[in-house]
Amino acid sequence: MQQVTERTLEQDHYLLYIYTPFCGTCALARTMLDKIESVHGESIFYEMNASLNPEFMQENKIESVPCLLIKDGNEIKEKVYAFKSIPNIYSYLLEYEPALFVEK
């Protein structure tokens, strides 16, 4: 997972995993995202520590962590708070990252 930067946040498309370091549910969600990246052999998600970015949290009305914020077409399309399972996360990837599923 890549650390988010100001430059990243200016892009019109990204998948941002928002967490806090001592959150057990966040650790479980991170495990799911790490497994997905491992299967694809590439970085798919950016990460942000919510504790270090309170302005971003307020501006984007992030209600809780963990959160997978999906920005596409320069607007926030989804804020996923319930990670549930790896197949659940894949349902979002199919919609917002279809290139991951094209044979190379």
Dump pLDDT digits (tens) for 5-64. 999 999 999 999 999 999 999 999 999 999 999 999 999 999 999 999 999 999 999 999
pLDDT attached to residue 102: 84
Rounded mean pLDDT, 66-93: 96
Rounded Cα distance between 25 and 13, Å, is 25
Q: What is the mean pLDDT of residues 95-100?
A: 93
Q: Is the pLDDT of residue 104 over 80?
A: no
Taking 70 as the threshold, does the pLDDT of residue 89 lie above it?
Answer: yes
**pLDDT interval class at 95 (50, 70, 90):** very high
Tell me the whole-structure pTM to 2 decimals.
0.94
Distance CA 36, CA 12 (A): 22
Nearest to 50 by CA among 60, 36, 40, 35: 60
Confidence of residue 103 (pLDDT cuts 50, 70, 90): confident
CA–CA dist 54, 73 (Å, integer): 24
Place of tokens 């990246």: 37
Instruction: With cut-offs at 50, 70 and 90, classify the pLDDT of residue 72.
Output: very high
